[in-house]
Structure 1
């Protein structure tokens, strides 16, 4: 973040030391009594260059400390210092970011001031204060570091979209905040990114209550943003009609409430096949005034729609009994009128069958501008190049046409000679890689990758002979000519494959392996990248790999561990080893090598690693039958680990007489968590669900369990929607976990119990 103003700091301090905190800001500033020792920590925020600090909150007969930072880099530095001086020896802190309760006014103030760059710890007050004071004295003697080196915008956006792919809101928010602080994008483009963030995390209500929603509905938006808003409208306003099998009521509600409020979203569908978008446009076809039989028929003809969604589309369509509409005039005239009426989808559909002409190209360029899809851009350029030179010249003389063609060109004013051809607009990833190989400085490369990730069909790689082999070869080739572009395009490549309904596909095994390698080469060790590394590794191991591929996967993991090994990465590597336990191992020595490397870190950072982590590692060693290979850990230190686990179990005693539901598709990890919780607290009841959809048993567990843990990284949307819909509002909110392993699950449960 940029340095906060004095007003911002003052407002934050007044909110932090408010009624939710028994410590008094006035007494702190005057240095009265015991409040005096807090003053130096407060003054760190009021310096000309504010420094990260730690502020206490005394409430409900306990004290919590909040590590306050103004940037992600500051947070990493502060976390390392806290681990060194305080750490698990004296507190609950294990290096993790705080999961703040935004319903709590004090924690909301912390979040708004830091943008999520905050950690939280608690423990014995006197001991922690002594450790913090030692940390402050050392920090004040330290030579000041130079200013942060600005990160390229492309890299920040890469990390933003990687965070969305991993479902990590805090990391995504941090990237977004960096763009704000560095003034990299204007307010409107930042708003577009926020909409995509909320949509990707399925925060539909929050999206539709954005203060800027009114303006957002009026401006020209990227189609990805329009799709996000349409999905939010359907899920918030109309999903319950579908759940209750009431299509007639849905049509009436659409006519009376939804369309009047959100009519600006219905100008374009742009070929979208997202179920919520299809259902909304079917409601438009059936309930619009006038009704649109042609749109209804077009929607019903779309293939690759899941049967449950197709069934509801058909029930909606049955409510419109009109035949096809009467034709009015020639197709070109109809397209002209449709464009004037803002129906660019239908206009484009008609223009595809019209002979080439200057009028056709003019209308296609309008459609390309409004629909914002690569397919329409390609069609417009194809039609443009079918014109005579005189016709092209006449079109380019119109400034609007020239500006739009220049936009497609990407780097210089368009003329007849340099107008891009249709081949410059890829139709799939193979063509994208070929274009990037031919033009490494291609300005629209990342824009096209982002668009293509949503538009292109994954099955096209299956229908083209040798497509997978060509993709693999091109990916490696482009890696040497346009490395940075390829690295920044990684989140779009991952989204394209991971959002495939049949992910992972055996036909794409070599491509998944290439993406794993690309991730290792491009990562800077962020938590999000490591989570996605595990996801890809799971995909490969699920499909089955030979000895060579298995060895390479573990070599990559070892490389990452050697580069980024630290106490804060222990959960990641434990999750990865947990994965290895679940799959056949053709190379025992390689797996043991990774285990030994992790054991070495546990020894080296013994004082900074909590006992749950040690306990999980010890369980993994047992599962892999390597106890004899690690005698020190399981022999001499076994009793110490057991003692520490008993101490750590105190936090899990809060589960006494409570019931916990864990929903995840990663069954082995859930079983491990269940066994650890039951060992730590004999009177806890743990239910495990791995269902891919809702059922009566899951409904009862969701309604009656004291705690519900949902592993969003290993879940089907049908099940997560079911769980969210059936969780009573008066019970504790659902605990979300963004990683599939047992370590992450236990960490999140522990943080929840620590409060």
Structure 2
């Protein structure tokens, strides 16, 4: 909240020092007794320009400190100062951002005021207070720094979508907050981004309880937003009918509840092949008034549908036995009537085969406006190109036609009057890269990349001869002509490949390497970027790499570590080394080089490394049989992981007599976590699952385990939805981890137990 008003600050302080906090705001402001020493920290917010501060909350027998920042930059600086003055020597703070409990009034107030830009620490109260006072006195003598240089909006959006791709909600929220603070986007576009955030993280209930939902259903939305809302509606309202094999009940509920409430979402399908969208439109075909046999047949004819979804679509379709109506007649007249009825999907389907005419282009323009897909945009421009010059001129006399065509075509610099305008809309990534190479200033490049990532088919690259080789060459070429655009388009490229059901594919190995290089070149060290680096490294290692490619991967990691090595990034490098230990290693000395680089950082920041990290590091050293080389770091008595968990025993002792389910596709990392937990707490029961689908055993574990840890970075598939659907609401919520390594799993579990 960079632009916090006095009223905002006052409201926050009254909430923070409310009935759940034994410290009294009135006594603090009046300087009464021992609480007077809190007053300078409160005044950092209330006197002059609001500054980051640290406020205590006294609950029963303990005190927690909340480091409050008003921007992401301030949070980074504040975290570094806390590490220097307090750190793990005196407190629980290890450099991590706070995971706030929004059911707690104090933490809810902190979240609403900061948007999550906060860290939390606890420990021996007197010692921490002395350290914080030293920090405050040093800051009072410090010369004020110049304000941050604003970040480009394209870069912020790039980081937002990278965070979504990595499943990192906090990082995505921070990017959104930056856009709010800097007034970069209007309220409606920020709302669209929030919808996509919640949908990507599969927070369906939260999405459908947004206060702005009513307005959202009425306004014209990007189809990505409509699609997100459709998925949310199906998952929350209709999924249980499918799970219970009750298609008849689903149709009845759709007619009585879903359609009256969400009919505005069902105006267009826009060619979507997402299973939830297909099922909703099949319910519309079967249960709508009137029924739509043509839509039913169109949905059944779609080829790229997984068998389990196709089977349910067929059961729904069987409930409508009407024959497909006769479609003979003038397609333009039929398309006109369909458009008037709001059925733009079917209108577009008819217009595709209609002969060229001004009327066809006019109707296609209406379809393009409503459907908002690249496929329709290209069809409009192709149809326009086929008109005579006189027909084009007549069509452009209507201002709306002229404005919308200009929007679709963009700037036509570097083209002649004979250049087909349809070429401005690519149909695949090869055409996108080629157009960007020819025109580095292409203004619709990022919009097209974002749309294409969702619309284009990954298998098309396999069907075109030499497509992969051309892609590889163009990617490298564009990197020198339009570097910033390519960097900002990285999340859409990654999403396109990573959402492929057969990811990773051996045919795309060279492309994955190029994306890995692009990520290294474009990153500023954000957590989401590093998580995605590990994901790509795992993909390549899964496919199998030779010595040269293996060396390249580790060299990239060494470069990242050299640039961003810090206590906050230790978990990342330990996760990566953990992965490297799990896969065949054609160049052992390279893997050891990364381990030694990490060891140097652990040695340099030894006071800021916690025992979980030390334990994992020692386990990795033991696996690689490098104990003698690192004996000075490990210590003579540190040969076993169990001997190094004594400091952490208290926190993990909270698992006594409890059961923990760890779900991840990275089995080796889960096994390591299991061994560390069992060494720290003898009476814990740990279950491991890496099934890609639900089953009775997994259901029992989910329903009965005290704690469920789910690694969402391992991919979203049937099992993740199965786990969420079967977790009882009265039990502890699922702990989500967005990185596949053992360090991240232990960190998330430790923060949960400490919270």
2:495 equivalent in structure 1: 495
Aligned to 2:148: 148
| Alignment of structure 1 residues 355-366 onto 2, 5 Å | 355-366=355-366
Q: Secondary structure at the match of 2:45?
A: coil
Instruction: Indicate the RMSD between aligned Cα atoms, in angstroms.
Output: 1.6
| Equivalent-residue separation in structure 2 for 1:210 and 1:419 (angstroms) | 46
Describe the shift of the 1:206–1:418 C-alpha distance in structure 2 as closer, same or farther (beyond 3 A). farther
Partner of 1:438: 438
For the 8 Å contact 1:611–1:641, the answer to whether it is kept is: no
CA contact (8 A) 2:565 2:601 kept: yes
For residue 311 of structure 2, what is the aligned residue in structure 1?
311
Q: CA deviation at 1:48?
A: 2.2
1:105-120 alignment runs, 5 A limit: 105-120=105-120
Aligned to 2:232: 232
Paired position in structure 1 for 2:398:
398
CA distance in 2, matches of 1:663, 1:317: 36
TM-superposed deviation, 1:365? 1.1
CA deviation profile, 1:224-273 (whole Å, cap 9, x unmatched): 00000100110111111101100001111111111111111111101000
Cα shift at 1:326: 3.0
For residues 525 and 315 of structure 2, what CA distance do their matches in structure 1 show?
49
Paired residues of 2:83 and 2:94 also in contact (CA < 8 A): yes
User: What secondary structure is seen at the aligned counterpart in 2 of 1:290?
Assistant: coil
Q: Structure 1, residues 396-445: CA drift from partner, whole Å, max 9, x if none?
A: 11101000011113248999949861111000000000000000000000
Aligned residues: 755
8 Å Cα contact 1:567-1:609 kept in structure 2:
yes
Q: Is the CA contact 2:619–2:641 (under 8 Å) kept in the aligned structure 1?
A: no
Cα distance in 1 for partners of 2:398, 2:47 equals 57
CA shift for structure 1 position 640:
12
Structure 1 residues 150, 384: CA separation in 2 closer, same or farther (over 3 Å shift)? same
Q: Is the 8 A contact 1:405 1:419 kept in 2?
A: no
What residue is the counterpart of 1:192 in the other structure?
A: 192
Q: Which residue of the partner structure matches residue 180 of structure 1? A: 180
Three-state SS of the structure 2 residue aligned to 1:442 is coil
Equivalences for residues 220-259 of structure 1 within 5 A: 220-259=220-259
CA separation in 2, counterparts of 1:215 and 1:396?
Answer: 33
User: In the alignment, what sits opposite 2:745?
Assistant: 745
Which position in structure 2 is the counterpart of 1:528?
A: 528
For the residues of structure 2 that align with 1:121 and 1:418, how far apart are their CA atoms?
Answer: 67
Deviation string, structure 1 residues 632-685 (Cα, Å, up to 9, x no partner) = 123447389977631221111111111111111110000000000000011111
1:690 pairs with 2:664 = no
1:115/1:641 Cα in 2 relative to 1: closer, same or farther (>3 Å)?
same
CA shift for structure 1 position 689: 0.8
Q: Is the 8 A contact 2:268 2:345 kept in 1?
A: yes
1:675-705 per-position Cα deviation (integer Å, ceiling 9, x unaligned): 0000001111111111111111111111111
Aligned to 1:4, what secondary structure does the other structure show? coil
Q: Distance in 1 between matches of 2:682 and 2:111?
A: 36
Query: Which shifted more, 52-61 or 432-441?
Result: 52-61
On the 8 A contact 1:406/1:414 being kept in 2, the answer is no
Of 253-262 and 43-52, more deviation after overlay is shown by 43-52
Q: 2: CA distance between counterparts of 1:471 and 1:236?
A: 40
Task: Map 1:333-482 onto structure 2 (within 5 A).
Answer: 333-411=333-411, 417=417, 421-482=421-482
Structure 1 residue 597, shift from structure 2 partner: 0.6
Task: Determine the structure 1 residue equivalent to 2:268.
Answer: 268
Q: 1:543 maps to which residue?
A: 543
Distance in 2, Cα, partners of 1:717 & 1:19: 44
Residue aligned with 1:305, SS? coil
Distance in 2, matches of 1:176 and 1:404, equals 29
Residue 734 (structure 1) shift? 1.1
Aligned counterparts of 1:61 and 1:427: Cα–Cα separation in 2: 64
Give SS of 1:646's match: coil
**Distance in 2 (alpha carbons) for counterparts of 1:74 and 1:392:** 56
Given that 1:2 and 1:70 are in contact with CA atoms closer than 8 Å, whether structure 2 keeps it comes out as yes
Query: Does the Cα contact within 8 Å between 1:692 and 1:715 map onto a contact in 2?
Result: no
Cα distance between partner residues in 2 of 1:416 and 1:392: 16
Looking at structure 2, the residues matched to 336 and 229 of structure 1 have their Cα atoms a distance apart, in angstroms, of 28
| Deviation of 1:49 (Å) | 1.7
Aligned partners of 1:393 and 1:416 also within 8 Å: no
* TM, length-normalised to structure 2: 0.98
Partner of 1:556: 556
Correspondence for 1:130: 130
Q: 1:456 to 1:700 in 2, by over 3 A?
A: same
Matches within 5 A, 1:710-725: 710-725=710-725
1:7-56 Cα shifts (integer Å, max 9, x gaps): 00000000001111111111111111110111111111113221111111
Contact 2:71–2:117 (8 Å) recurs in 1: yes
**What SS does the corresponding residue of 1:45 show, helix, strand or coil?**
helix
Alignment partners' CA distance in 1, 2:466 and 2:418: 32
What displacement does 1:330 show?
A: 1.1
| Structure 2 CA distance for aligned equivalents of residues 484 and 47 of structure 1 | 41
Please state whether the residue corresponding to 1:56 is helix, strand or coil: strand
8 Å CA contact 1:52–1:69 kept in 2: the answer is yes
Q: Distance in 2 between matches of 1:88 and 1:196?
A: 37
Q: In structure 1, what is the equivalent of residue 728 of structure 2?
A: 728
Is 1:651–1:750's contact at 8 Å kept on the other side of the alignment? yes
8 Å Cα contact 1:45-1:53 kept in structure 2: yes
CA shift digits 1:462-509 (9 cap, x unpaired): 000000000000000000000000000000000000000000000000
What is the CA–CA distance in structure 1 between the aligned matches of 2:695 and 2:411, rounded to whole Å? Answer: 55
1:663·1:710 contact (CA, 8 Å) conserved in 2? yes
Deviations 1:371-415 (A, max 9, x none): 100001101111111111000000011101000011113248999
SS in 2 for 1:629: coil
Contact 1:432 1:449 in 2 (8 A): yes
More displaced stretch, 455-464 vs 260-269: 260-269
Give the equivalent residue in structure 1 for 2:292. Answer: 292
Asked if the contact 1:165/1:495 (under 8 Å) is kept, the reply is: yes
Structure 1: distance between partners of 2:637 and 2:81: 27
Structure 1, gaps ≥5 residues long: none
CA distance, structure 1, for counterparts of residue 604 and residue 127 of structure 2: 23
Within 5 Å, which residues of 2 pair with 1:67-86?
A: 67-86=67-86
C-alpha distance in 1, partners of 2:6/2:613? Answer: 42
- The aligned residue for residue 9 of structure 2 is 9
Cα distance in structure 2, aligned partners of 1:678 and 1:84? 33
Shift of 1:139: 1.2
SS at 2:709 equivalent: strand
